Amino acid sequence: MSWIRKTAAELADALAAGEVTSVELTQAHLDRIAAVDGAVHAFLHVDAEGALAQAAASDARRAAGAPASALDGVPIAVKDVMVTEGLPTTCGSKILEGWIPPYDATVVTRLREAGLPILGKTNMDEFAMGSSTEHSAYGATHNPWDLDRIPGGSGGGSAAAVAAFEAPLAIGTDTGGSIRQPGAVTGTVGVKPTYGGVSRYGLVALASSLDQAGPVTRTVLDSALLHEIIGGHDPKDSTSVDQPLPALVEAARLGAGGDLSGLRVGVITELSRHEGGQGGWQPGVMTRFQESVDLLVKAGAEVVEVSCPHFVHALAAYYLILPAEASSNLAKFDAMRYGLRVVPEGIDNPSAEDVMRATRDAGFGDEVKRRIILGTYALSSGYYDAYYGQAQKVRTLISRDFEAAFEKADVLVSPTAPTTAFKLGEKLDDPIAMYLNDLATIPANLAGVPGISVPSGLADEDGLPAGIQILAPALADDRLYRVGAALEAALLEQWGGPLLDKAPTLEGGAR
Ligand code: GLN
């Protein structure tokens, strides 16, 4: 099997055994990017030279007997929302075109210190607003399972890169589902850690109280390995949790043994009943979900049904809180400090405000403008209590729903997204239809609890991947890995190999 199809854990073993060098691995992935990214468009920027230099440094460390981490030498792709010193960072927006950050995000610093060569920056919906990556100002990313379909969003680039074997690992960010939903629709694994579990320093903020960076991989163990590298306290982020991470890799290895006896799994009523609910659950997604729950029972888990009555209001609360925070965070793009500056024509001596207005008009896309207007309105005096204040109350009720549910169950489960990947363009003109994709993922962001999406199989209707989401209490991220790895092991046995082996090969299929 070629190197690109191996998991990160397998690559790490091969590097340790001296069977391959990091330069060879990195080159193999760069070759793959060159071969298929014309069709997939997962990357906004590829840094071949930088990645190969980092790979050579990794090989030198290993030759000296001093690898920097378990993943030293395994290449990675990074979502373009993380600032990278010397590498373009656009957040998928024209307003940051040409901006080269002068520093690294903490996540990036940790990747560099751990010796992972950075292949490049991945495509995303502009400022992480979207569920399809179609809101990128640089063109959409295509789902490797079907190039006419969306790869999810906002982190569709990271998920597609991993699903198309362009990178064994990637970094994503999840404000309302942008790691987990792309994972579900591309047949990959994605983890949103506990809020505060991974530093937000250098993550260009969308909604600061919701944003969280995390792993995008092909296996549960690979996510655990990556999470241990990027996670943990960072004094540069005031919301960072000052506690050691739980033993995530150990939990994944334990889970892979397949024994879940004594574990209580709560099926969330509001997110697993497609009759009469919000969002239009696709029958094939529900069937694969139910089968996954049955496998958890087979592994020894006890299944209980739990009701989280306020989850039905999560989407409405999110679309007040997120725009409110985003409108404030995006105010810094004022044509003075970063990237684009448009001087309006036809005005004598344009003022700073004229330049700002013209720059924002040209630099921000429609979805970003929509949310800035919504957020500014929700925060305006006179409306603040009615909208933002109410939404914060709903947020508290959702946290309480989680607290009550975690009294009855150790982890909670639901399908990750209501449907498989839809066609490019299908929901682009219907913001509400787009927002409904995150129905199941948003509650975890509002409450700050961690979640993982694991592939559950292919839906019968369309043969496209579906995902199951596993949620745990804050700081109990290890439970995601234990349960995720147990389920993955059972499913792999059923499928006779990785789900992605069933995806069409892209070689020669480039359009
Ligand atoms: N799709 C959601 C949104 O548009 C989530 C985005 C995210 O997690 N970054 O806000």
pLDDT of 32 over the 80 cut: yes
- Identify whether 105 is part of a domain: yes
pLDDT of 508 over the 60 cut: no
Average pLDDT over residues 190-209: 98
- Identify whether 318 is part of a domain: no
pLDDT value at residue 99: 95
pLDDT value at residue 511: 36
| Exposure string over 311-342, b if 16+ CB within 10 A, otherwise e | bebbbebbbbbbbbbbbbbbeebbbeebbbbb
Catalytic residue status for 22: no
pLDDT tens, residue by residue, 145-156: 999 999 999 999
pLDDT value at residue 507: 74
pLDDT tens, residue by residue, 433-445: 999 999 999 999 9
Instruction: Find the 117 Cα to ligand 1 centroid distance in Å.
Output: 28
- % of the chain beyond a pLDDT of 90: 95
Q: What is the CATH number of the domain that holds 461?
A: 3.90.1300.10
- Identify whether 352 is part of a domain: no
pLDDT value at residue 329: 98
DSSP of 308-353 = -GGGGGHHHHHHHHHHHHHHHHGGG-SSSSSS---PPTT-SS--HH
Catalytic residue among 132, 154, 272, 456: 154
Residue 179 CA: which ligand 1 atom is closest?
A: 8
- Identify whether 371 is part of a domain: no
- Identify whether 367 is part of a domain: no
Structural domains in the chain (count): 1
Structural domain boundaries enclosing 406: 3-311+396-502
pLDDT of 243 over the 60 cut: yes
The number of beta carbons lying within 10 Å of the beta carbon of residue 488 is: 24
- Identify whether 29 is part of a domain: yes
Catalytic residue status for 154: yes
Pocket of ligand 1 (CB under 6 A): 128-131, 153-154, 174-178, 206, 322, 438
Catalytic residue status for 369: no
Catalytic residue among 79, 94, 121, 192: 79
* Integer Cα distance of 505 and 165 in angstroms: 10
- Identify whether 172 is part of a domain: yes
Instruction: Find the 182 Cα to ligand 1 centroid distance in Å.
Output: 11
- Among 81, 123, 129, 216, name the best residue to mutate to test ligand 1's pocket (greatest count of ligand atoms within 8 A of Cβ): 129
Instruction: Find the 39 Cα to ligand 1 centroid distance in Å.
Output: 24
Average pLDDT over residues 364-380: 96
pLDDT of 296 over the 90 cut: yes
pLDDT value at residue 446: 98
Per-residue CA distances from 295 to 94, 160, 260, 290, 484 (Å): 46, 27, 10, 9, 11
- Identify whether 418 is part of a domain: yes
pLDDT of 510 over the 70 cut: no
